[in-house]
Structure 1
Amino acid sequence: MTSTTRLTVAQALVRFLAAQYTERDGERTRLVGATWGIFGHGNVAGIGQALVEYADVMPYHQGRSEQAMVHAAVGYARQRNRLSAHAVTTSIGPGATNLVTGAALATVNHLPVLLLPGDVFATRPADPVLQQLEVPYAGDVSVNDCLRPVSRWFDRVTRPEALIPAALQAMRVLADPVDTGAVTLALPQDVQTEAFDWPEEFFAARTWTVRRPAADPGELAAAAAAVRAARRPLIVAGGGVHHSRAEEALGALAAATRIPVASTQAGKGSLRWDHPQDVGGIGHTGTATADELARTADLVIGVGTRYTDFTTASGTLFTAPGVRFLNVNIAPHDGHKLAGLPLIADARTGLEALAAALTAPAHRVEPAYVTEYTDDKERWEYRVDAAYEAEDADIRPTQPQVLGALDELVTEDDILINAAGSLPGDLHKLWRARSRDQYHVEYGYSCMGYEIPAAIGVRMAAPGRPVWALVGDGTYLMNPTEIVTAVQENVAITVIVLQNHGYASIGGLSAAVGAEGYGTAYRFRAGDGSFTGAPLPVDLAANAASLGMRVLRAKTVRDLRSALAEARGADTPTCVYVETETADRVSGAPPAQAWWDVPVAETATRPSAVAAREEYDRHVAARRRHL
């Protein structure tokens, strides 16, 4: 007879989660390492009580914003190479809908997070309950259904016994390198507290193997033949290189063949910046070196990349006649993009197999090609040096000069986190990544407000390593709440706030597309109603201090260098606040090296919009579909 234990659904779920593990390459780790939570009437008596009951086996972190809790969990999962994740529990209603943005970010970036939102009563004793959204045409719909399109797996547990298959499926998806993303188990608040006799086997330790599928021999032979036939091949390293821990395999292949390696935002750091074959970021935010190689490449070897719009410069970057694509990807959906030759395999396994196929006989690109991209890379580094350099240490720094000051200080131990604004472009072009995980820019969803909570998750996953959250004033205002969490738990992150009085990235884009920067500056209204008056008297440093952070203000480049050095050695959460010089007055980062399709008004009377449309038509004519 099977032995059973009588527990509530919530208690059973917490005990189950505490016994789940992943294993890859002999490394075994907890699949769900902790649970974040904000409690309300939809989860306080269920999951909340269960977390108290089993605090010895399930660590708990108190959040301030539901979206931010997901961001923290995502930062943790990325730093742990997707082998370990966090759960997030919320009440019903607004607590649940606040998860949607974070869930979308996780799913877009293929990063695991388990969402446990409370739900309305399954038994309908009162209808509607507090915060319940009534849907006139469907009695079984709740706000949690908003999470369906942004989740890789969704289930609503309306009976206790339904938890068993639902929980097992949830773990399967979290641990699957192809399907992983946000996983949602919606939990009606009455079901959470209902008791059931659970089979003891449900709580037994269970290990989920993270697979490394090998390449098909036929696809491998075709891939090797394509590489051997190419005269100007280019590798594009995406986030899958990091997820697979394929950096060494990529470096070995590049060194053996001398094929240059460009990187997407997610893939930057796949090779160190000073690796002979590393040519920097690619696409709209990429380097001149990488983008020129892309324009002349006859074979583009994508490794773990989704070929996003920025990477492909909206279909205008890869322009060589007859250019072909070879896609090493664990996901068939991405492996077949751009009508490419698919090599469906784990990135590390696929690269190792391809390298072996190119050794007998040994294959290398022509020396003239190596000389060409090496010289171009050297010229680009001069431009980086110029952007970083501050001839006068007693002036207000530009944004690139802030990065230059940080570049002088960091080692391979440091981790930089960013997601939105003008910083991703400057970082992708300029930052010299020193380790595989130093560069942490979330650009799949480019979500303002990601940086601070993600930094907390990263620091939890990598204790003892310096973690920097780089934010502009616009991003800071979106989501500073988890500063309180960092202070409460003494998570020693450093937040660098760059004050430029508005949305710098969108302001520049607005000017480029004929919208004249309208509504993008943080300024008082002028007499004509426009936002062109004096800057707002907002003191974000004082705000960070009011939330408990130690704050260092930097007015000049000299101040900044001192503040960064002091912050790096701090053992408490610290903010470095610096007001930057705007790029229209002082030279900043090099401009975009490739186009990005942002449609411009087809008819307009204002000269700026008319001129922008003419420029748009010129670029869009160069777009091609790779068939």
Structure 2
Amino acid sequence: MSTIKLTVAQALVKFLDNQYLEVDGQEKKFVEGVFTIFGHGNVVGLGQALEEDSGDLIVRQGRNEQGMAHAATAFAKQNNRQKIYACTSSIGPGAANMVTAAGTATANRIPLLLLPGDTFASRQPDPVLQQVEHPENYNITTNDAFKSVSKYWDRINRPEQLMTAAINAMRVLTDPAKTGAVTLSLPQDVQAEAYEYPEEFFKKRVHHLERRPANQRVLAEAAQLIKEKKKPLLICGGGVRYSEAAAEFKEFAEEFKIPFGETQAGKGSIVWDHELNLGGIGVTGNSAANKIARDADLVIGVGTRFMDFTTASKQLFQNPEVEFIGINVCEFDAYKMDALPVTADAKLALESLTETLKEADYSSSYQNEIEEVKAEWLQESERLFNLEYNADNFTPEVAGHIDEVLTEFNADTESVLTQTAVLGELDKLLADDSIVVGSSGSLPGDLQRLWRPKKPGTYHMEYGYSCMGYEISGSYGVKLAAGDKEVYSMVGDGSYLMLHSELISSIQEGQKINVILFDNMAFGCINNLQMSQGMGSFGTEFRYRNQESGELDGCLIPIDFAASAAAYGVNTFTVKNIEELREAVKEAQKSEVSTLIDVKVLPKTMTHGYDSWWRVGVPEVAKKDSVKKAHQELENEIKKARQY
């Protein structure tokens, strides 16, 4: 057996450069490159290997470990999980920064390869800089924190261990049923140790994305169940997108006249104005999808995890005869909601079910219900797109607070913009192939309800983890995947303040992104939640501390986000009315570098719930009658929800 002497780091780089994925007969390079932030735990190990011979891997410098890992996640998501970037960090805080991103990738079922440095396997010297010591267990390091958020975790304590670890990493990363974050911890001394690796370890490896067919018995059961139902509803989940099954999903819906709602991950697989597309479903869904869901006697989830926002905390489906079918390549997800599990690739399962039901000449029994709810929602969405603030939209208690806030906000900003009106204008202004990116706050709800994808693949929402800070980092990763398409990060002021460092990376790399920053001087989404459950506004608006009362109830804190971003070399605009918004978007589209549009939007002007409910933990005991009332309402709603 011929061998080649390499360090662990050099061998890992060489191995990653030779990984390929075959999908439906098309072969592509799987590992595009490596995001790096170097420190003492990886710079002279993995860093040296990348400097000496990175092969065809593209090495990109990050600014924040969490941010670069979000960018890698977004890149993989936009590529339908068929291409990845690896991410390497130093030990300690650099590694710990990536834990949040690992959770984001795993929750969303997106492949993410993390290569954090680790303490010395030899334990000489000891303890090292940035080491967290555990006196009762010396095997524990910072990197053990990745275990709960990784689908595969390993620590390479000896050079020869790299081979099984690397192959297992690829096994998980390329498996659509198992994929998520994969963490290979690399002790800094081991990175530099050499070994005579078999040359065949570095051969070109082609991993095959095998489309799993459904069990014929289960398919027959599913077909029989559908035939017994009159008002089925499809749910288009992320699995439709990742399986590239949009055509099969659309054919299935059209052939049997079955309407469909969209999850955040599934939205955009099919254009918004398809006659059977009801739009977003669940807590952040609209009235069309939720009204049909309420009466459906069968729910067919395709590639969805049936998370609480999709099912309205299991309370959305009120027909006493309702049953569920779960079509999912992941068996764990297929069983949710006590569904008949069709554990299979979405494309193959839909093809088989279509063929079987065609033979039975099946069709749903909907009459005019679909057209009626769609027309009603279209009228409501147009109202929202042209919305001006009106205190009558809120309860008296909340409206009184809003009037005070709006007076103060308007004095600081002179803004007259509502959040939904801004989205309506952006819907008109952005090119049809532009990609919008979001993740957290009130914007995901507004976008799931109101955004109108006119081309497939132009809606990119991370909502499996709803991770604040993903938006700008994710937009950078999407841009790396999308090439010449314009990418727009839809981000709130709170999330922007948490993490926007990869905006600088986009400037460095010449990868233009557009940041639409919605500034309402608050964690507005959570402010809505607390006030809707009987609380006052507490700790969610951005206010100075009142030196007399000692509370955070002083004046609002105005921030000139455009001025701060301009210092990075970003083209910036501040917007307070529709005319300024139009001009800013027009100029941003001409720009060759990243842009930021600081949009001052009036608080409380986002969308709110439509025929749905979200279960949160309202206290059983409280001094305020409004909280007691909210708890009683919670108890009443729980009775309507499914228990499993």
Indicate the residue corresponding to 1:465 in structure 2. Answer: 485
Is 1:609 the counterpart of 2:627? The answer is yes
Corresponding letter in the other structure for 2:638 = V
Secondary structure class of the residue paired with 1:187:
strand
Distance (whole Å) between structure 1 residues aligned to residue 542 and residue 159 of structure 2: 52
Distance (whole Å) between structure 2 residues aligned to residue 395 and residue 192 of structure 1: 55
| Alpha-carbon distance change, 14 to 588 in structure 1, aligned in 2, over 3 angstroms | closer
Indicate the residue corresponding to 2:24 in structure 1. Answer: 25
Is 1:439 the counterpart of 2:436? The answer is no
Indicate the residue corresponding to 1:375 in structure 2. Answer: 372
- Stretches of structure 1 that go unaligned for 5 or more consecutive residues are none
Shift of 1:625: 2.2
Q: Percent identity?
A: 45
Is 1:563 the counterpart of 2:560? The answer is no
Distance (whole Å) between structure 2 residues aligned to residue 601 and residue 287 of structure 1: 28
Distance (whole Å) between structure 2 residues aligned to residue 178 and residue 215 of structure 1: 14
> How many residues were matched structurally?
619
Indicate the residue corresponding to 1:581 in structure 2. Answer: 602
Indicate the residue corresponding to 1:289 in structure 2. Answer: 288
Shift of 1:617: 2.2
Indicate the residue corresponding to 2:570 in structure 1. Answer: 549
Indicate the residue corresponding to 1:409 in structure 2. Answer: 429
Distance (whole Å) between structure 1 residues aligned to residue 432 and residue 307 of structure 2: 28
Match of 1:524 among 531, 541, 544: 544
Is 1:149 the counterpart of 2:148? The answer is yes
Match of 1:476 among 490, 496, 507: 496
Q: Is the 8 A contact 1:38 1:64 kept in 2?
A: yes
Corresponding letter in the other structure for 1:606 = K
Shift of 1:267: 1.1
Corresponding letter in the other structure for 2:331 = P
Corresponding letter in the other structure for 2:174 = A
Distance (whole Å) between structure 2 residues aligned to residue 187 and residue 40 of structure 1: 13
Corresponding letter in the other structure for 2:625 = P
Indicate the residue corresponding to 1:324 in structure 2. Answer: 323
Q: Is the 8 A contact 2:14 2:54 kept in 1?
A: no
Secondary structure class of the residue paired with 1:44:
coil
Post-superposition Cα deviations, 1:409-439, rounded to whole Å, max 9, x if no partner, equal 2233111000000101111111112222111
Distance (whole Å) between structure 2 residues aligned to residue 399 and residue 37 of structure 1: 37
1:502-521 correspondence to structure 2 within 5 Å: 502-521=522-541
Shift of 1:354: 0.8
Indicate the residue corresponding to 1:335 in structure 2. Answer: 334
Distance (whole Å) between structure 2 residues aligned to residue 156 and residue 540 of structure 1: 42
Shift of 1:362: 2.4
TM-score (norm 1): 0.97
Distance (whole Å) between structure 2 residues aligned to residue 321 and residue 32 of structure 1: 49
Q: Once superposed, what is the RMSD of the aligned Cα atoms?
A: 1.5
Q: Is the 8 A contact 1:285 1:593 kept in 2?
A: no
Match of 2:612 among 573, 582, 594: 594
| Alpha-carbon distance change, 113 to 40 in structure 1, aligned in 2, over 3 angstroms | same
Distance (whole Å) between structure 2 residues aligned to residue 603 and residue 395 of structure 1: 40
Shift of 1:588: 4.7
Corresponding letter in the other structure for 1:424 = P
Secondary structure class of the residue paired with 2:368:
helix
Secondary structure class of the residue paired with 1:624:
coil
| Alpha-carbon distance change, 391 to 309 in structure 1, aligned in 2, over 3 angstroms | closer
Shift of 1:27: 1.9
Indicate the residue corresponding to 1:121 in structure 2. Answer: 120
Match of 1:386 among 350, 369, 383: 383
Shift of 1:379: 1.1
Shift of 1:523: 1.3
1:124-135 correspondence to structure 2 within 5 Å: 124-135=123-134
Q: Is the 8 A contact 1:327 1:341 kept in 2?
A: yes
| Alpha-carbon distance change, 395 to 453 in structure 1, aligned in 2, over 3 angstroms | closer
Q: Is the 8 A contact 1:395 1:557 kept in 2?
A: no
Secondary structure class of the residue paired with 2:311:
coil
Indicate the residue corresponding to 2:12 in structure 1. Answer: 13
Shift of 1:198: 1.4
Indicate the residue corresponding to 1:622 in structure 2. Answer: 640
Shift of 1:316: 1.0
Indicate the residue corresponding to 2:593 in structure 1. Answer: 572
| Alpha-carbon distance change, 156 to 327 in structure 1, aligned in 2, over 3 angstroms | same
Q: Is the 8 A contact 1:42 1:90 kept in 2?
A: yes
Distance (whole Å) between structure 2 residues aligned to residue 87 and residue 73 of structure 1: 7
Distance (whole Å) between structure 1 residues aligned to residue 306 and residue 388 of structure 2: 39
Match of 1:539 among 560, 578, 581: 560
